[in-house]
């Protein structure tokens, strides 16, 4: 491989690693050219396999995908191990503090006393968060963000559930089916219009939902069609504002990759 091919290959691997659980990069000519900062060589493309995620074409390096899964499993094991160690240490110290005699017996090798069963009241008042399997709005958010529901950790699952509840409250005048359709439309609008080539994240729903609603009501004058749903997948607006936006995105992308290459 030439120096340019090696550089394009490394940049593509960095982009796939940054996609996290998606473990893939968009198979789109403009996106691939942006990632490689130039032509995307066929020799580099051969090191990726074509995959389809939520109806969209992607490229995936299988070896790097396996490394991501392994690294995530190792991280989860370390986190769970640390919680167990902290829990055991806290339980032992609490028992010794509350019952000095029992703590001394345990230190001498005697088995600890059987824990008392939890009262029924301890199980009341728990909040069960909705999931992609039980809530159509959470399912739409997961699909719009192109996430695998089975790979969401507790923090992300809570963020999706909380964002779903906020969207329901803010859009109480529409049906759940219509709201789910709007969420899917937001995902495509973000990927093709607002931030071309970049999938939406759950944080972008909180930051960009108002702009998206305004876009649906007042589309750019340069576009002949009258709704965001119709404009997604169409020709981008030919306006000075949009050109400045594209130049800014390209400049920030170049600066990011320059900073990465210097490290």
- For residues 45 and 80, state if they share a domain: no
Domain for residue 130, yes or no? no
- For residues 257 and 144, state if they share a domain: yes
- For residues 163 and 245, state if they share a domain: yes
From the number of C-beta atoms within 10 Å of its C-beta (0-12, 13-18, 19+), residue 135 rates as: buried
Domain for residue 28, yes or no? yes
- For residues 142 and 31, state if they share a domain: no
Angle made by CA atoms 131, 199, 231, in degrees to the nearest 5: 110
Domain for residue 87, yes or no? yes
Sheet holding 25-26, edge to edge: 25-26, 56-60, 49-53
The one-digit pLDDT tens for each residue of the chain (263 residues) are: 788 888 889 899 999 988 888 889 999 989 999 998 888 999 999 999 999 988 889 999 999 888 888 888 888 888 887 666 666 666 555 554 555 555 555 555 555 656 655 554 444 444 455 665 678 888 888 888 888 777 778 888 888 889 988 988 888 888 888 888 889 889 888 888 888 878 888 888 888 888 888 887 765 544 433 344 444 444 556 677 667 766 775 676 666 556 545 54
CA 200 to CA 194: how far, in whole Å?
Answer: 10
Bridge pairing between strands 49-53 and 56-60:
antiparallel
- Domain count across the chain: 3
Domain for residue 128, yes or no? no
Domain that holds residue 241: 136-262
- For residues 54 and 71, state if they share a domain: no
- For residues 86 and 192, state if they share a domain: no
Domain for residue 101, yes or no? yes
DSSP 3-state assignment of 56? strand
CA 259 to CA 254: how far, in whole Å?
Answer: 9
Model's pTM, two decimal places?
A: 0.39
Orientation angle between helical segments 202-217 and 154-170, nearest 10 degrees:
30
Domain for residue 191, yes or no? yes
Cα torsion 40, 44, 49, 53 to 10°: value is -30
User: What distances in angstroms separate CA 161 from CA 13, 62, 100, 124, 144, one per listed residue?
Assistant: 31, 31, 44, 21, 14
Domain for residue 123, yes or no? no
- For residues 99 and 152, state if they share a domain: no
- For residues 163 and 255, state if they share a domain: yes
- For residues 144 and 107, state if they share a domain: no
Domain for residue 99, yes or no? yes
- For residues 155 and 242, state if they share a domain: yes
- For residues 164 and 258, state if they share a domain: yes
């Amino acid at each position: 491989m030439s120096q340019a091919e090696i550089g394009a290959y490394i940049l593509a691997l960095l982009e796939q690693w940054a996609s996290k659980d998606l473990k893939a990069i968009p198979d789109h000519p403009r996106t691939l050219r942006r990632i490689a900062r130039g032509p995307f060589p066929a020799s580099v493309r051969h090191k990726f396999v074509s995959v389809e995620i939520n109806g969209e074409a992607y490229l995936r390096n299988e070896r790097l995908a396996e490394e991501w899964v392994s690294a995530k499993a190792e991280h989860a094991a370390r986190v769970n191990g640390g919680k167990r160690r902290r829990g055991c240490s806290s339980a032992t110290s609490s028992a010794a503090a509350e019952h000095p005699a029992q703590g001394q017996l345990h230190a001498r090798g005697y088995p600890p006393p059987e824990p008392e069963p939890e009262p029924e009241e301890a199980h009341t008042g728990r909040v069960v968060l909705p999931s992609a399997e039980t809530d159509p709005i959470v399912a739409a958010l997961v699909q719009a963000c192109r996430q695998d529901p089975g790979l969401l950790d507790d923090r992300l699952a809570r963020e999706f559930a909380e964002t779903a509840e906020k969207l329901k409250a803010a859009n109480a005048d529409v049906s759940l089916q219509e709201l789910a359709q709007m969420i899917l439309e937001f995902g495509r609008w973000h990927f093709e219009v607002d931030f071309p080539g970049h999938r939406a994240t759950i944080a972008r729903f909180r930051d960009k939902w108002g702009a998206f609603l305004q876009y649906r009501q007042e589309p750019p004058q340069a576009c002949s069609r009258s709704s965001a749903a119709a404009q997604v997948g169409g020709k981008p607006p030919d306006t000075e504002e949009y050109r400045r936006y594209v130049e800014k995105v390209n400049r920030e992308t170049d600066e990011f990759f320059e900073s990465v290459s210097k490290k």
